Amino acid sequence: MKLVMIALAGSMLAVIPSLALAQQSLTGTIITVDRISGTIGIRQAQSGTVGAGGGGATEQQYKAPDGVLDKFHAGDKVTYSASETGGKKTITKIENE
């Protein structure tokens, strides 16, 4: 019984950080808006000092909720939150900066 409780406590500690990460606000620039497929491409803003990264920022594709794509255009700087369910990344909140 004691071993089961330890295993349960350990699994809870592994889940809590991933939940916190899913709710973290990110910033980036909209690269593409695909109204037909309902997706939006965002390049996440680099953190750190200038020149420290090597310019490795990549574009991530997200499924957007209904009605969101009409409000945004390529080049817009945004703050957003996203979640991943079943391998699909979905925007949960997005605002212009």
Domain architecture of the chain: domains with CATH: 25-96 (2.40.50.320)
Give the chain's mean pLDDT. Answer: 80
CA–CA separation, 8 and 2 (whole Å): 10
Share of residues in the chain with pLDDT > 90 (%) = 49
- Taking alpha carbons only, the member of 22, 31, 26 closest to residue 89 is 22
Mean pLDDT of 34-42: 94
CA–CA separation, 90 and 64 (whole Å): 6
Mean pLDDT of 3-15: 58
8 Å CB contact between 91 and 33? no
Tell me the pLDDT band of 97, cut-offs 50, 70 and 90: confident
Residue type, 49: T
pLDDT at 75 over 70: yes
Grouping H, G, I as helix, E, B as strand and the rest as coil, residue 37 is coil
pLDDT given for residue 50 in this prediction: 59
pLDDT given for residue 45 in this prediction: 85
Whole-model pTM? 0.67
pLDDT given for residue 20 in this prediction: 43
